[in-house]
Structure 1
Amino acid sequence: MENFKLLKIEDSLKNSLEKMKFTKPTPIQAMAIPVALEGKDILGTAQTGTGKTLAFSIPLINKLILDKNAFALVMCPTRELATQVMAAIKSIISDKINIKTALLIGGEAMQKQLRQLGNRSRIIVGTPGRINDHLKRKSLNLSATKYLVLDETDRMLDMGFTPQIELILKFVPKDHQTLLFSATLPQNIVRISERYLNKPQRISTGSTSVPIAKIKQETLQVFKENKYDQLVDQFIARKGSILVFVKTKRGADKMVKRLKEEGHSADAIHGDLRQSKRDRVITSFRKGLKRILIATDVAARGLDIPLIQHVINYDLPQVPEDYVHRIGRTARAGTEGSALTFLTPDDRSMWNEISKLIDPNFKPAPRGARGDSRSGKRGKAPYNKKRKFRDEKKSSYGRSSSSSRDGEKKSFGYKGKSSFGDKSKPSSYGRSSSSSRDGEKSFGYKGKSSSSSSRDGEKKSFGYKGKSSFRR
């Protein structure tokens, strides 16, 4: 299928797609839509940002146009993703199609949702928790559900929604079509598909663990106490919107408070925010009113903001697969983007796991003879609210766009290669695209880590053994 015009769908839906200027389908859409229109179950895997929302929405709407008594249920792991899926569905429901919808997510007034359900909404999009709430209240009737979508299923299972999903499926009649989409395909997903899907057709577009090719990936080797200053330097050196991932909600709030005090346009998004606040934060970032968004992993899946030019992993994720989903927030819909990951000596183990996920040939360094991870540490930079952030010429240990003039040796003691970009260029410790005038600085990893460039060949590397080339 090379064009949406070739689809065997109702004219009203075809006209709606033309008005939205949807002409050429993405690979997942070209593969999944014709199969779904035939009524077959689908087990689909695709990277984030590949257009799978439209891949299941077009057949869904077409089915409901043909069957006026049919209902559709779409389950998503997070409120943000559910809201975006609903927006995508509504965008292609024209007045002539006239199918009512209901968005069932936590953090929003129950009365509003009850009104939507009472208005015979035939497309239900929601999160498992709130859908279950309505089932318990008997305000939601799924007996006429003919089309079921489980979106980002691996994420739903990771978040502990398995019991809620299984409970919901008991209310769905056996005679229905199921489309299950997942960014990864672990064994628990396979078990669910065997249990609930009927001879599903397997659809996959590219690797589910290799990040999108148009994302330029870099690493920045830093000491923990210098991370914040490194981050600020990245804000100065980069243009455009920046999404920063941190480990905790408290850490996100503390960072935003400090950034605002220092004059940066920043906001935070995490699970403790009320839905109305989360919506305002995302809207202001999407419109460009805020340049920097500090997020926990709640935003790693489903957050579709075409504006994001850079993703920075300030803290590594708890689960290796989430690295792929984090950096997938940039380079959406065919655009280019960059992803920078901060690595401290303590990140060695998790980074090895992430590297193994991305590059099957990656071999971690042996755990023998680790050097003193404290060697070469410098004191924490003084906190200064009045610091002038536009002064890019200031030289600092381990900063972006800076130079080093001392020749001291620093060793962490790992051996190996870690190539995250141009393999021919050695990496400079604590710098991205930086230069060095003299001296050799070795952190004990024998090998290459080409996340940056060096003018005179100084070696600085955390050196995880094995090659991991992310520019594919």
Structure 2
Amino acid sequence: MMNFSDLNIENKLKRSIELAEFKTPTPIQSQSIPISLEGKDVLGTAQTGTGKTLAFTIPMLNKLLKDKQAMALIICPTRELATQVMETVLKLNIREIGIGNALLIGGESMQKQLRQLKKRARIIVGTPGRINDHIERKSLNLSNVNYLVLDETDRMLDMGFTPQIEVILKFIPKDHQTLLFSATLPENILRISQKYLNNPERISVGSLSTPIEKIKQETFEITTDKKYHELINQLVERSGSILVFVKTKHGADKIVKRLKYDGHKADAIHGNLRQSKRDRVIRGFRNGNSRILIATDVAARGLDIPVIKHVINYDLPQVPEDYIHRIGRTGRAGKDGSALTFLTNSDRNMWRSIQKLIDPNFKTFQEIEKNRSKKNTKGKKSFNKKKSFRDKNKFFKKEDKKNSSFNKNKKFSKKDDSKRSDYKDKKKSFNKDHKRSKFKNKETTAGYTNNPKYFSKKQENPIENENFKEKSFKKRNKFKNRKRPKNFSFKKHKPK
């Protein structure tokens, strides 16, 4: 399909496509639209910004023009994406077609939505939560739906909408056409496609994990405390609209306050804003009222703003796949774009996961070094100290036998065995005599021991020896038997 005019569709729809100035189809559109017009189920995957919305909108309108009783339901993960899908529908659904529609999203007036549904809306675009609310209120009847679109399905599953989607599908007739579009194709998407799609045609355009080639990607290594100052430098250096992604809602509001204080026009968009406020922020950003938009991952997917020239990842995403969707907000519809990512020490593991997602063959410097060391050691035997020592001994023993120079006793040769034996005997006897002489002259003294056999023997104690007693107490014995007179008195000395 080279042109939309080549399609086998209703003339009214062809005129509306011309008025909307859609001329050349994108690869996903040229492959999926002819299959969808045949009534087959489609499992389509393509990068963000490749025109998936128009790929399911044209077959939907053609089917509703042919069957006046038919209904179409388009389920989107976020309010922003649902609003953008409805804008694309309204571009084609002009007065000549005039099919009733309703946008069912949270944050907007329930009464307004009820009025739209009462006007026999045949095109329903909404988020899972608000669609379920209307089903419970019995204000939404899905019994005539024969065209179902699940847009950004991987995002819906990540956000935990699986139970709500299953509830909605219970109210849709079994005989219907289903188109499932996604930017990535994880295992849970394949399980859902097997469960709810009937022999779908698989359409894949480009690499699912590689960003658009026209987006220039850069990284900037920095510490956390200097991130804001570098952000200011980047905002001054770059021209055009800039989308800055942060991790938290509080962080988005905080940065906006600081930027406004520093004289920059900035707004924030996150989940805590009312729908009217979110619409006003996006409208002001599109119109150029604010040059800088600080956003959480709620705006990472489906935000189609062609004026975005630069994307700055102030914080890394929580999921590696979200990096691709973030930078996909720039470089829309074949235009050039740039993406800058701030990297701190704490971001190393996540950044490694992102690089492996983009390039499965990516290897870090440490992994390359490990592989090199393995290659170098391959084929070499591991060094064993014991083994080498034994081998050494064997070597020297052999040498001893061969060469007499290694023999310690050079005086005797191998032939003179008798002399050697005499020498050994003399040496032994000399050593024995020497030991005996040592202990002969040595005086034995009493000491301490823990040998129990020692106490059983009667040891000679020099103190207990009788001779020793006689010698030591000889002087005392002199005065032992001396008798004193009973009456003893001193004589007074009289001077002459």
Q: Which residue of 1 aligns with 2:244?
A: 244
SS in 2 for 1:68: coil
Is 1:255 the counterpart of 2:255 in the alignment? Answer: yes
Is 1:225 the counterpart of 2:222 in the alignment? Answer: no
1:98 to partner: Cα distance: 1.0
Is 1:108 the counterpart of 2:141 in the alignment? Answer: no
Residue identity opposite 1:94 in structure 2: I
Residue identity opposite 2:163 in structure 1: P
Q: Which residue of 2 aligns with 1:380?
A: none
For 1:304 and 1:96, locate their aligned partners in 2 and report how far apart those are by CA, in whole Å: 27
1:366 to partner: Cα distance: 3.8
Residue identity opposite 1:345 in structure 2: N
SS in 1 for 2:74: strand
Is 1:321 the counterpart of 2:313 in the alignment? Answer: no
Residue identity opposite 1:90 in structure 2: L
Residue identity opposite 1:77 in structure 2: P
Q: Which residue of 1 aligns with 2:358?
A: 358
SS in 2 for 1:357: helix
For 1:159 and 1:177, locate their aligned partners in 2 and report how far apart those are by CA, in whole Å: 25
Q: Which residue of 2 aligns with 1:349?
A: 349
For 2:87 and 2:21, locate their aligned partners in 1 and report how far apart those are by CA, in whole Å: 16
Q: Is the 8 A contact 1:3 1:23 kept in 2?
A: yes
- TM-score normalised by structure 1 residue count: 0.78
For 1:367 and 1:19, locate their aligned partners in 2 and report how far apart those are by CA, in whole Å: 56
Question: Residues 306-317 of structure 1: matches in 2 within 5 Å?
Answer: 306-317=306-317
For 1:353 and 1:415, locate their aligned partners in 2 and report how far apart those are by CA, in whole Å: 20
Q: Which residue of 2 aligns with 1:188?
A: 188
- The structure richer in helix per residue is 2
SS in 1 for 2:342: strand
For 2:60 and 2:145, locate their aligned partners in 1 and report how far apart those are by CA, in whole Å: 11
1:23 to partner: Cα distance: 1.3
Residue identity opposite 2:221 in structure 1: Q
Residue identity opposite 2:251 in structure 1: G
Q: Is the 8 A contact 1:365 1:415 kept in 2?
A: no
Compared CA separation, residues 295 and 415, structure 1 to 2 (3 A): farther
Q: Which residue of 2 aligns with 1:29?
A: 29
1:22 to partner: Cα distance: 1.1
For 2:367 and 2:39, locate their aligned partners in 1 and report how far apart those are by CA, in whole Å: 53
- TM-score normalised by structure 2 residue count: 0.74
For 1:67 and 1:167, locate their aligned partners in 2 and report how far apart those are by CA, in whole Å: 26
Q: Which residue of 1 aligns with 2:210?
A: 210
Is 1:303 the counterpart of 2:306 in the alignment? Answer: no
Q: Is the 8 A contact 1:178 1:197 kept in 2?
A: yes
Residue identity opposite 1:303 in structure 2: L
1:415 to partner: Cα distance: 13
Q: Which residue of 2 aligns with 1:265?
A: 265
- Per-residue CA deviations over 1:243-298 (Å, capped at 9, x if unaligned) read 00000000000000111111100000000000000000000000011000000000
Q: Which residue of 2 aligns with 1:43?
A: 43
Residue identity opposite 1:178 in structure 2: T
SS in 2 for 1:45: strand
1:364 to partner: Cα distance: 3.0
In structure 1, stretches of 5+ residues that fail to align are 370-413, 417-472
For 1:222 and 1:55, locate their aligned partners in 2 and report how far apart those are by CA, in whole Å: 42
Q: Is the 8 A contact 1:285 1:293 kept in 2?
A: yes
Is 1:167 the counterpart of 2:167 in the alignment? Answer: yes
Q: Which residue of 2 aligns with 1:75?
A: 75
Residue identity opposite 2:254 in structure 1: K
SS in 2 for 1:25: coil
Residue identity opposite 1:98 in structure 2: G
Q: Percent identity?
A: 71
Question: Residues 129-168 of structure 1: matches in 2 within 5 Å?
Answer: 129-168=129-168
For 2:146 and 2:193, locate their aligned partners in 1 and report how far apart those are by CA, in whole Å: 17
Would you say how many aligned residue pairs link Structure 1 and Structure 2?
372
For 1:230 and 1:168, locate their aligned partners in 2 and report how far apart those are by CA, in whole Å: 47
Residue identity opposite 2:307 in structure 1: L
For 2:279 and 2:22, locate their aligned partners in 1 and report how far apart those are by CA, in whole Å: 26
Q: Is the 8 A contact 1:270 1:296 kept in 2?
A: yes
SS in 1 for 2:348: helix
For 1:333 and 1:287, locate their aligned partners in 2 and report how far apart those are by CA, in whole Å: 18
In structure 2, stretches of 5+ residues that fail to align are 373-496
The alignment's C-alpha RMSD in Å is 1.6
For 2:56 and 2:368, locate their aligned partners in 1 and report how far apart those are by CA, in whole Å: 50
Q: Which residue of 2 aligns with 1:382?
A: none
SS in 1 for 2:82: helix
For 1:235 and 1:217, locate their aligned partners in 2 and report how far apart those are by CA, in whole Å: 16
Q: Is the 8 A contact 1:240 1:291 kept in 2?
A: yes
Q: Which residue of 1 aligns with 2:492?
A: none
For 2:240 and 2:371, locate their aligned partners in 1 and report how far apart those are by CA, in whole Å: 36
1:177 to partner: Cα distance: 0.2
For 2:155 and 2:366, locate their aligned partners in 1 and report how far apart those are by CA, in whole Å: 32
For 1:27 and 1:123, locate their aligned partners in 2 and report how far apart those are by CA, in whole Å: 26
For 1:302 and 1:33, locate their aligned partners in 2 and report how far apart those are by CA, in whole Å: 20
